[in-house]
Amino acid sequence: MTSPAHVAIIMDGNGRWAKARGLPRVAGHRAGVEALRKTVRAAPQLGISYLTVYAFSSENWSRPKSEVSDLMGLLKLFIRRDLAELHQNGVRVRVVGDKASLQTDIRGLLEEAETLTANNDALTLVIAFNYGGRDEIVRTAQKLALAAVRGEISIDSISTESFAASLDTAGIPDPELVIRTSGELRLSNFLLWQAAYSELVFLPCYWPDFSQDHLADALRDFAGRERRFGGLAPREAAS
């Protein structure tokens, strides 16, 4: 079975998981971090080289202040508690999203994680934090426009390849598979550029219940898909 090199996950349903148990939403997010840990451990064994997770979107700021602060706290705790284990297991951490507008302590922790693990190669864990696909595309357009105005690049040199190489995800291959838990059927501003040809798998389970078996099932589903990238299926192209 061919495994995708890059799997991206929208970890949705923490709030509903907590509500179903009569627990506060933060309990769902805590359980979500545990599911994330298990997924990071399982990914390399399943042949995955890049795992991207949507941890905080640029739209999540509109949640109640207390929930935003809980999510920020959980990210800090995750880096502080798990960075040593991630490093020991050869995990390289990359962060995508608008880092510039994050609190300095969070930005510092994220940069520390990226620097410490920069040379690891067992798995690249891409944390999408303060991330929005449209925001990423606009920031990239601004970066290239500035370079053009300064005469560093010519307008003609801007291509799909050079644009991709200027996104937050520069150097990371596009995800072949995007998984979303919790039964919602949308991308919610996640990897809009990169997911152009991704296969999508939607699972009914809430993120805290996501297990290695769900991941293996999604990979099997992916292996049965026919990917055409806008072309024809091999048998149609031959006839």
CB 136 within 8 Å of CB 96: yes
* DSSP string for residues in 85-106: HHHHTTEEEEEES--TTS-HHH
Of 11-19, 85-93, 172-180, 188-196, the window that binds ligand FPP (rule: CB under 6 A) is 11-19
Q: Which residue, among 72, 62, 55, 51, has the nearest Cα to 14 in the 3D structure? A: 55
As given in the structure block, the two tokens for residue 201 are: 């798998």
Q: Does 97 bind ligand FPP (CB under 6 A)?
A: no
Q: What angle do CA 224, 230, 232 make, to 5 degrees?
A: 70
Smaller CB separation from ligand FPP, 105 or 152: 105
As given in the structure block, the two tokens for residue 203 are: 């699972």
**Residue carrying structure tokens 């970066």:** 143
CB 183 within 8 Å of CB 204: yes
Of 70-78, 84-92, 130-138, 211-219, the window that binds ligand FPP (rule: CB under 6 A) is 70-78
The correct pick among 4, 8, 14, 218 for binding ligand FPP (CB under 6 A) is 14
Question: Any idea what DSSP says for residue 63?
Answer: S
Q: Annotated catalytic, 156?
A: no
Q: Does 123 bind ligand FPP (CB under 6 A)?
A: no
Q: Does 210 bind ligand FPP (CB under 6 A)?
A: no
Q: Annotated catalytic, 120?
A: no
* Alpha helices (H) in the chain, listed in sequence order: 14-20, 25-45, 65-88, 104-116, 133-149, 160-164, 212-223, 234-238
Footprint on residues 180-199 left by ligand FPP (CB under 6 A) = 182
CA distance 70 to 182: 21
Of 67-75, 86-94, 137-145, 154-162, the window that binds ligand FPP (rule: CB under 6 A) is 67-75
Q: How far is the CB of 20 from ligand FPP (least distance, A)?
A: 9
The correct pick among 9, 11, 43, 96 for binding ligand FPP (CB under 6 A) is 11
Q: Does 60 bind ligand FPP (CB under 6 A)?
A: yes
Q: Does 12 bind ligand FPP (CB under 6 A)?
A: yes
C-beta nearest to ligand FPP: residue: 15
Which residues of this protein are in contact with ligand FPP, per CB under 6 A?
11-16, 29, 32-33, 36, 55, 60, 71, 74-75, 78, 127, 182, 207
The catalytic residues are: 12, 60
